[in-house]
């Protein structure tokens, strides 16, 4: 049981750091720092964890299978970088939708699209850095640990 708790703790800490940071930036870009910021950020983070954590593994599996089919002869390092970039764009796009709706509501498509694009583009550079770190350093170590 201690190994299982360790695995859960490591994965949970990664989700908290990455998800917390990205939703912080997205919330800030969406509503800036004001009296609603803290409550909006916490609720956006919670919603993203509830929606993204369960489907993140499925999305990762689908992206990995698609890349393996499209790029069968690519090196493992290049595959991990491309995988990380695809995951960053996909997961952050979902997080930006959730954060935008949570902080600004859903009044019309034009407003939603404009705020979504702004929040996504603000957090994307950070997400790309996280994705490269995760795909090159953390993912290989996690795969070994989870196989134990």
- Nearest one of 83, 91, 82, 77 to 127, comparing CA atoms: 91
Summary mean pLDDT of the chain: 88
- Nearest one of 102, 82, 105 to 94, comparing CA atoms: 102
pTM of the model: 0.84
Q: Which domain holds residue 81?
A: 2-147
Question: How many domains in the chain?
Answer: 1
Which pLDDT score is estimated for 1? Answer: 58
Mean pLDDT, to the nearest integer, of 128-140?
85
Q: What is the pLDDT of residues 43-77, one digit of tens each?
A: 999 988 888 877 888 998 999 999 999 999 999 88
- Nearest one of 130, 139, 119 to 16, comparing CA atoms: 130
């Amino acid at each position: 049981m201690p190994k299982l708790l360790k695995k859960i703790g490591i994965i949970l800490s990664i989700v908290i750091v990455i998800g917390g940071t990205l939703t912080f930036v997205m919330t800030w870009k969406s509503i800036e720092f004001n009296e609603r910021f803290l409550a909006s950020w916490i609720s956006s983070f919670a919603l993203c964890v509830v929606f993204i954590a369960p489907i993140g593994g499925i999305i990762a599996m689908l992206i990995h299978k698609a890349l393996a089919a499209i790029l069968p002869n690519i090196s493992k390092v290049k595959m991990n970088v491309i995988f990380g970039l695809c995951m960053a764009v996909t997961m952050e796009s979902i997080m930006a939708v959730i954060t935008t709706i949570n902080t600004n509501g859903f009044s019309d498509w034009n407003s939603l699209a404009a705020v979504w694009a702004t929040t996504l583009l603000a957090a994307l550079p950070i997400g790309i850095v996280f994705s490269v770190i995760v795909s090159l350093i953390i993912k290989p170590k996690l795969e070994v640990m989870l196989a134990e």
